[in-house]
Amino acid sequence: MSEYSLVQELVEKLLAEVRSKGLTSVKEIRLRRGSTFSEEPLQQAFHIMSENTPLEGAQLVIEAFNIEHKCKACGYSQVLTPDDLIGNLYICPECGADVEIEETRALQYLGMA
């Protein structure tokens, strides 16, 4: 799933929560993002998708966590960044083995205020 799709899914979830709580605006949204999820596109996509909604102007408070990968073929281990992936595909720089990395676990909603 692309970063844009994940942010779209997040915005839909947040808007449902806002409606269920009867809120008219949100000041802050707390998220955790994995090291494979770029923060800048997250901020940009959220800004665009939240326009003209109760989420517009909300501050994203984002903490990062590392996503580590150990190659099953050669044992090489590293913290993954967006630059290490081609889409969802990671290619081990040591042995060339490839594996799909699930990016969906790389964005977590923690709460809003």
Got the DSSP string for 21-78?
HT-S--SEEEEEEETTS-HHHHHHHHHHHTTTSTTTTPEEEEEEE-EEEE-TTT--EE
For residues 29-36, average pLDDT: 94
Supply the mean pLDDT for the chain: 92
Q: What is the distance of C-alpha 35 from the center of its chain?
A: 9
The pLDDT tens digits of the residues spanning 12-25 come to 999 999 999 999 99
Which domain does 7 fall in, by range?
3-112
For residues 56-76, average pLDDT: 96
Task: List C-alpha distances in Å: 47 to 7, 11, 50, 101.
Answer: 10, 10, 5, 26
- CATH number of the domain to which 7 belongs: 3.30.2320.50
Number of folded domains that form the chain:
1
